[in-house]
C-alpha cells in the first residue's frame, strides 16, 4: 500500500494530467469530483475496493473492483472435497485470497479499513485462519456466515470488513462498529460496500465518493442486469483498479475484467472450471491484450489474510 505522502504526489500528478488534457479519469467530467476522491482517500490513509451486491427479479449478481498498486493478480481454482465446497478465489501473487465465489452460490470479498477499535468478546476463541478461504470452503448461505462469525473472535475485523451475498439474494456486510460485531443488511435491492464502517455512519453522510457514485447509479433504476453492474464498476474504477469481476450467483458464472478494460471480458463457468482440477492462473494472461500467457499450475501461494 502507498504511504500517504507518496500517494499524494502520484494523485496530484494524475490531477494535473486531467486538468491539462481533459482526460478525466473517472468519466464524470468534473475535476471537482477528482478532488473529492483525493480528499476521501487521503482521509482514510489507504486505497480500497468497491463491491456491489444486488438481487432483483430472480437475478443475483455480485461485483467487485479490486484496487491496489500491484498488478500481479491471480485466479485460484479449488475443486470440492469431502469436507469443503469447490471455489474460485481472486487475489495477488503475494496475497492470494481477496474474494471469490463457491459452488453453492456464496460470494465474499473484503474491504480494508483504518483501525476499527476491535476488541475481543469474552468467552470466545480467537480465529487465526484465512477467513475468506474457510467461508468459501464451508458456508453456503449468509446465515452460515453469520453463525461462523458468531462462534469466534476475529482480529482481522480490526482492519477489514466482509461483504457477503448468496444465491437466494440475501446479502450483508460483516464489520466491527458501535463497539461490537455488526451484520449490516440493506433496505433496498442492492448493497454497496467500500472502505468505511457503515454502522458508524449517521444521517447517510457517507464519506466515500465511490460509494456515493455507485448509490447514485443504482438508485436511479429498478432494472438489474449485467450491464448495470458493469457500468457501476466502470464508473467507480480508477488508476489503482487491477481487476474487476461480476459473479452470477445462481448460474455460477464469473465475468472477469482486467485493468479497467470493460470492453474485454473473460467468462468462466465455475462448474466447468472445477472439473479441470486445482490450479492457479496468472489473471492478466487470460486476456488477449496481455502478452504474458504463462500459467502457473498447482501452486499454493502464501497464506495471507490481508484484504484491500
Residue 168: the pLDDT is 98
Q: How confident is the model at residue 289, as a pLDDT?
A: 78
Q: What is the DSSP letter of 203?
A: T
Task: Give the burial string for 108-120 (b: 16+ CB within 10 Å, else e).
Answer: bbbbbbeebebee
In this structure, what are the phi and psi dihedrals at residue 23, rounded to the nearest 5 degrees? Answer: -90, 70
pLDDT by residue for the chain (308 residues), tens only, comes to 333 344 444 444 433 333 333 332 333 333 333 334 434 443 433 447 999 999 999 999 999 999 999 999 999 999 999 999 999 999 999 999 999 999 999 999 999 999 999 999 999 999 999 999 999 999 999 999 999 999 999 999 999 999 999 999 999 999 999 999 999 999 999 999 999 999 999 988 999 999 999 999 999 999 999 999 999 999 999 999 999 999 999 999 999 999 999 999 999 999 999 999 999 999 999 998 774 443 433 333 333 334 44
Total-model pTM: 0.82
CATH class for the region spanning 48-286: alpha beta
Nearest to 284 by CA among 254, 260, 252: 260
Please report, for residues 41, 121, 151, 198, 272, the alpha-carbon distance to residue 154 in angstroms, rounded to integers and kept in the order given.
26, 9, 10, 18, 34
Can you read off the three cell numbers belonging to residue 306? Answer: 490481508
In the chain, CATH 3.60.60.10 sits at 48-286
Residue 26's pLDDT is 31
For residue 110, what pLDDT is reported?
Answer: 97
Distance between CA 208 and CA 227 in Å, rounded?
23
Of 199, 202, 129, 190, give the one whose Cα is nearest residue 165: 190
Parallel, antiparallel, or unpaired for β 180-184 and 253-258? unpaired
Q: Which residues contact 170 (CB under 8 A, 6 or more apart)?
A: 55, 141, 142, 143
Amino acid at each position: 500500500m502507498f504511504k500517504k505522502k507518496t500517494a499524494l504526489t502520484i494523485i496530484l500528478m494524475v490531477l494535473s494530467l486531467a486538468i491539462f488534457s481533459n482526460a478525466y479519469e473517472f468519466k464524470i467530467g468534473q475535476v471537482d469530483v477528482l478532488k473529492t476522491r483525493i480528499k476521501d482517500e487521503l482521509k482514510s490513509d489507504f486505497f480500497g475496493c468497491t463491491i456491489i451486491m444486488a438481487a432483483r427479479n430472480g437475478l443475483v449478481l455480485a461485483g467487485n473492483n479490486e484496487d491496489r498498486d500491484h498488478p500481479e493478480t491471480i485466479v485460484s481454482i479449488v475443486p470440492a472435497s469431502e469436507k469443503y465446497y469447490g471455489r474460485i478465489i481472486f487475489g495477488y501473487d503475494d496475497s492470494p485470497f481477496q474474494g471469490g465465489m463457491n459452488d453453492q452460490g456464496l460470494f465474499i470479498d473484503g474491504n480494508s479499513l483504518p483501525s476499527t477499535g476491535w476488541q475481543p468478546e469474552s468467552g470466545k476463541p480467537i480465529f487465526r485462519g484465512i477467513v475468506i478461504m474457510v467461508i468459501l470452503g464451508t458456508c453456503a448461505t449468509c446465515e452460515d456466515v453469520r453463525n461462523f462469525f458468531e462462534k469466534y473472535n476475529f482480529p482481522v475485523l480490526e482492519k477489514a470488513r466482509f461483504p457477503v451475498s448468496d444465491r437466494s439474494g440475501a446479502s450483508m456486510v460483516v464489520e466491527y462498529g458501535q463497539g461490537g460485531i455488526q451484520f449490516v443488511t440493506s433496505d433496498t435491492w442492492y448493497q454497496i460496500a467500500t472502505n468505511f464502517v457503515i454502522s458508524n455512519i449517521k444521517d447517510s453522510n457517507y464519506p466515500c465518493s465511490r460509494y456515493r457514485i455507485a448509490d447514485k447509479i443504482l438508485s436511479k433504476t429498478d432494472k438489474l442486469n449485467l450491464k448495470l453492474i458493469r457500468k457501476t464498476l466502470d464508473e467507480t474504477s480508477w488508476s489503482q483498479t487491477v481487476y474487476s469481476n461480476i459473479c452470477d450467483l445462481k448460474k455460477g458464472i464469473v465475468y472477469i475484467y482486467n485493468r479497467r478494460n470493460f470492453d474485454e471480458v473473460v467468462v468462466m463457468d465455475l462448474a466447468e472450471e472445477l472439473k479441470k482440477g486445482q490450479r492457479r492462473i496468472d489473471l492478466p494472461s487470460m486476456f488477449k491484450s496481455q502478452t504474458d500467457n504463462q500459467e502457473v499450475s498447482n501452486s499454493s501461494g502464501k497464506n495471507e489474510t490481508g484484504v484491500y
